Amino acid sequence: MRIAIQFYSYFADLAGCAEASEDLPATATIGDLMHRLHARFPKLAAMDKSTLIAVGVEYRPRGYVLKEGDEVSLFPPVQGG
């Protein structure tokens, strides 16, 4: 299945792009996706512990099982106000 990924804030600078996509096997989790992304974008791997992850507009844990068409967003801690 194909998963779309968006990077926000300085994560886009670290990745060198604002969007990417990955082809993953069915039943892959966000954790599986993160393995792929860290290999592809090593600068993001260093931020792993502080990375926030959403699918659509909801926060999701790394064990979340992805499905075709999911849009995953990765970003650093938020700083509104």
Partner 1 sequence: MWNAECEMKRELKITTEPIDERALVASRRMSAGMGAAACFTGVVRSDEEGQSISAIEYTAFPQMAEHQFNLLFDEIAKRWPIESVRLVHRLGVVKVNEPSLWVEVVAPHRGEAFAACQWLIDEMKRVVPIWKKPLP
Assess 61 for contact with partner 1 (CB under 8 A). Answer: no
Among 9, 24, 38, 51, indicate the residue that binds partner 1 (CB under 8 A).
Answer: 9
Residue that has been written with the tokens 């844990």 in this structure? 61
**CB-count exposure of residue 5 (10 Å: 0-12, 13-18, 19+):** buried
Stretch that binds partner 1, among 17-25, 31-39, 60-68, 70-78 (CB under 8 A): 70-78
Among 43, 59, 67, 69, indicate the residue that binds partner 1 (CB under 8 A).
Answer: 59
Contact, 5 vs 22, CB < 8 A?
yes
Assess 76 for contact with partner 1 (CB under 8 A). Answer: yes
CB of 53 to partner 1, least distance (A): 11
